[in-house]
Structure 1
Amino acid sequence: MAMLETNTSVSDEQKMLVKTVREITEKEFKPKAAELTDTGEFPFENMKVLGELGLLGISIPEEYGGSEGTVMDAVLILEEIAKGCYITAMAVLGEIGVQSKAIVAYGSEAIKQKYLPSIAKGQTTLAICITEPNTGSDAANMTTNAVDQGDHFVVNGVKTMISRADVADLFLMFTRFEGTPGHKGIGCILIDKGTPGLHIKQGFKTMGGEYLWEVVLEDCIVLKENLLVLEDGFKKLMTAFNTQRCLNASICLGLAEGAFNEALSYTKEREQFGQPIADFQGIQWMLSEMYVDIEASKALLYRAARNAGRGFPDKLEASIAKFHTNEMAIRVTNQALQLHGGYGYTKEYPVERMVRGARFGAIGGGTSQVQKNLIARELLKSKRVF
């Protein structure tokens, strides 16, 4: 839709990137979106297409086989994919988000050489493991623990609600070291699939369609060469996580735009009382509010992504973008379903699954409530005024 394509903050190169991803999504991903949502299967075929085009290496430097794009590039890619297929967007998030960004920023040269080239090609699937049964937003109190045993660590603990764990080749495991309490004791190690003591347990089917898994570590032996970050580990990893906040928001933005596009087309075609329902003022007001809501979120998200360059987004800008876009997507997708009437409530129309997909944003990557707390802390600390 032309009016949603125009944005002066997007370069000519990025417009070409958007065009490429849009065409692939429309041709390859969107037709399979309903099936993937029903089955919850990992979209291997879609990921292969993206890997062959080099899009999965957008967050990885050229020297390791990537295309060394910006955070803005990653946002644009996910936004376009999410318009057509939420399941594929979530899979791509795991490859171009905090996982690969953290390895690039904090990994040793040996770690980068070992993992980044295959990640860039789409040959290594990543899973990040933070949440535990009793520590969701309270990540600083995680109980997973790594004990130093000379040339290796022995890791024990349980992680839950982990995306892609069933297909992951590499796990970025947030863990406490030597039982050191609080933020200071937390860092991250990399654990390869098949490592003895690493077990993937029960899966939880989500309303969005994808599965989340439980990961159990029982005397799991990890060589010290796979230590990603320890000193100031929690702070560094949370800084990297600002990227995830923006990419989470980009999926929500894409879902909202996709739902809006569906609603606009439907209201032009659907007739009641002898005329298209788009002719009724009440419908026009709903469409106007949805469009303005989307544009406001896009401005906030693009600001955070653009200012980040190839680094990490600003904490405050990322949290503002995530909070606003998450809540916007819930509103807009629900309104899109409402505009479809009874048909919107059926699985025959894509808005039904867009509503379900949009609900993930305000939970994953830090809830809306956590974002508001973070925003308030930053405002009070800096004493910002208009």
Structure 2
Amino acid sequence: MTDFHFKLSDAQRRLIGDVRAVVQSEFKPRGEEFMQGAFPWPNIRKLGEMGILGMAVPKAYGGMELGVFDTALVLEEIAKGCYVTAMAVLGEVGTQTRIIATYAPEAVKQRLLPGVAKGEHLLSICMTEPHAGTDVGAYTTNVERRGGKLVLNGTKSLVSRAEEASAFVVFARVDDQPGGEGIGCVLVDRDTKGLVHKNRSHSMGGEYLHTIAFENCELPEENLLLGPGSLKKLLSAFNTQRCLNPAISLGISEGAFSEALAYAKSRKAFGRSIGEFQGMRWKLADMWREIEAARGLLYRACAGADPFPDPLLAATAKIYCNEISVRITSEAIQVFGGYGFTDEFLVSRMYRAARYGSLGGGTSETLRDLVGKRLMNADNPADVFDLADF
């Protein structure tokens, strides 16, 4: 088994400290503005200057080339103060950037990755379709290789950052090949003729989610990032999201807990702080316990995740982190009482943000089924705790 421990290096501590200082002093005070739908450009530019947006970009293209664990630590820290910014950063350090960095032709890497690292290019991923989400094999968006070029047609929904993105990484069927084996991946630049923004919906978490269509979009051949038969590679890269999405959930939980603890110390009732009452102390103790359990699961999944995580560990961590974030933020509101129900307090916004975790990057139901299948396929039930090396 791999040597495994949670002690952070000095470099990791410095990185977290730098991010924390910016988040708490600059991002957190402006968080309500971005929950109303404004894109957090000031925060993104600041993180670009710090090099944070290049975490998934190789050093050869101007990035930091950090692992999944380091990336999760940073997202956790950002989410403590501003969920919308954390989600925007996820788009730069997650699946789409890692697909390009790992699989794209050299010309595409040189064209996009330096700009991603500086915050000049934002990337958006297009997977879900109006009729299919988890069922990737049912996607109908299709790219056809025709006379030295690519022609893309189809519709994608629930797309983040569609108005801000410089390019879209699109999961698509290739040459109408059927089933999951026919799925590949193409890159579409935002100024491509035939890329149409259909509509957008404002989400509980503050982001806008878009439906976009590709109507006979002509692309150069180099924009075919992965051809048919690549679904396993694409899902392996996507599995990274199952470590980074829960890092945001964990950060939300920690941020809400910190707000609740501070309020429990300062709010007075019957001549003493409400935190001195046994019922409140027990509530805080249970919140802390769940957060620490979630941290252990997530850090374990991240520690051996390079280049991509173990599916069992990532799924388990994601389920737990996603679900405790809803419980923790709900309990934080309870600590605040009626004030927690108002938008004046951060815990209200965190509660809304927490609900996204178990929907994006694979639903809790899908991941529970994945874990269950892995357990059922074990040769010896006595060995199930050795399924994931750590």
Normalised by the shorter chain, which TM-score bucket?
over 0.9
Aligned length in residues: 378
Q: CA deviation at 1:232?
A: 2.8
Structure 2 length normalisation: TM-score? Answer: 0.95
2:38 and 2:204 map into 1 onto residues whose CA distance is 14
- The aligned runs of 1:65-80 (5 Å cut-off) are 65-80=62-77
Q: Is the 8 A contact 2:6 2:299 kept in 1?
A: no
1:72 and 1:149 map into 2 onto residues whose CA distance is 41
1:231 and 1:345 map into 2 onto residues whose CA distance is 49
Q: 2:370 aligns with which of 366, 371, 374?
A: 374
2:144 is equivalent to residue 147 of structure 1:
yes
1:163 and 1:326 map into 2 onto residues whose CA distance is 19
2:348 is equivalent to residue 352 of structure 1:
yes
Partner of 2:315: 319
2:246 and 2:179 map into 1 onto residues whose CA distance is 29
3-state DSSP class of the match of 1:376? helix
3-state DSSP class of the match of 2:215? strand
1:30 and 1:12 map into 2 onto residues whose CA distance is 25
Partner of 1:259: 256
Partner of 1:222: 219
> Deviation string for 1:297-351 (max 9, x for gaps)?
1011111111114x11111111111011000101111110111100000011000
- Aligned partner letter, 1:82: A
- The aligned runs of 1:106-121 (5 Å cut-off) are 106-121=103-118
2:375 and 2:161 map into 1 onto residues whose CA distance is 35
Q: Is the 8 A contact 2:246 2:322 kept in 1?
A: yes
Q: CA deviation at 1:381?
A: 2.3
Q: CA deviation at 1:231?
A: 4.1
- The aligned runs of 1:233-272 (5 Å cut-off) are 233-272=230-269
Partner of 1:385: 384
- Aligned partner letter, 1:329: S
3-state DSSP class of the match of 2:151? strand
1:67 and 1:348 map into 2 onto residues whose CA distance is 37
2:7 and 2:293 map into 1 onto residues whose CA distance is 14
- Aligned partner letter, 1:142: Y
2:328 is equivalent to residue 332 of structure 1:
yes
3-state DSSP class of the match of 2:181? helix
- The aligned runs of 1:164-243 (5 Å cut-off) are 164-243=161-240
Q: CA deviation at 1:201?
A: 1.8
2:378 and 2:180 map into 1 onto residues whose CA distance is 22
3-state DSSP class of the match of 1:385? helix
Partner of 1:4: none
Q: CA deviation at 1:8?
A: 4.2
1:151 and 1:287 map into 2 onto residues whose CA distance is 62
Structural RMSD (CA) = 1.1
Q: 1:35 aligns with which of 28, 33, 36?
A: 33
2:378 and 2:189 map into 1 onto residues whose CA distance is 42
Partner of 1:302: 299
Q: 1:363 aligns with which of 359, 381, 384?
A: 359
- Aligned partner letter, 2:323: E
1:30 and 1:108 map into 2 onto residues whose CA distance is 39
Q: CA deviation at 1:290?
A: 0.5
Partner of 1:3: none
- Aligned partner letter, 2:21: E
2:374 and 2:103 map into 1 onto residues whose CA distance is 25
Gap change, CA 1:196 and 1:252, over 3 Å in 2: same
3-state DSSP class of the match of 1:203? strand
Q: CA deviation at 1:41?
A: 1.5
1:13 and 1:189 map into 2 onto residues whose CA distance is 36
1:259 and 1:367 map into 2 onto residues whose CA distance is 23
1:107 and 1:8 map into 2 onto residues whose CA distance is 33
2:148 and 2:170 map into 1 onto residues whose CA distance is 18
- Aligned partner letter, 2:222: E
Query: Could you list the runs of 5+ residues in structure 2 that have no partner in the other structure?
Result: 386-390
Q: State the identity as a percent.
A: 49
Query: Could you list the runs of 5+ residues in structure 1 that have no partner in the other structure?
Result: 1-6
> Deviation string for 1:85-140 (max 9, x for gaps)?
00100000000001111111111112111111111111101100000000012122
> Deviation string for 1:127-164 (max 9, x for gaps)?
00000000012122111111121211211111000000
2:280 and 2:207 map into 1 onto residues whose CA distance is 33
2:56 is equivalent to residue 86 of structure 1:
no
2:121 is equivalent to residue 124 of structure 1:
yes
Structure 1 length normalisation: TM-score? Answer: 0.96
Q: Deviation above 6 Å: which 4+ runs of structure 1?
A: none
2:182 and 2:346 map into 1 onto residues whose CA distance is 45
